[in-house]
Amino acid sequence: MRSLSVIGSSPEFADMFEGQFVRQGKDEDRDIEMTLETGWNLLTELPEA
């Protein structure tokens, strides 16, 4: 599971993932398109395996 170890070894990515993807503000009404776009944008921050 090399790909999972890359995520686990990147504390910066983990912070960005939690801050931008997992935590959704009380007043934020994010639709599925915005959620997917956010996820893809975060994935581009990972180093290539």
Residue 12, token pair as written in the block: 């910066």
- The per-residue pLDDT for 32 is 94
- Numbers of helices and strands, H then E, in the chain: 3, 0
Q: Which amino acid is at 33?
A: E
**The predicted structure's pLDDT at residue 5:** 54
pLDDT in tens, 1-49: 445 555 556 788 888 889 988 888 888 888 999 999 999 999 888 877 6
pLDDT, residue 11, reads 83
Cβ neighbour number for residue 42 with a 10 Å cutoff: 15
How much is the pTM? 0.65
pLDDT for the residue numbered 14:
85
pLDDT of residue 1: 43
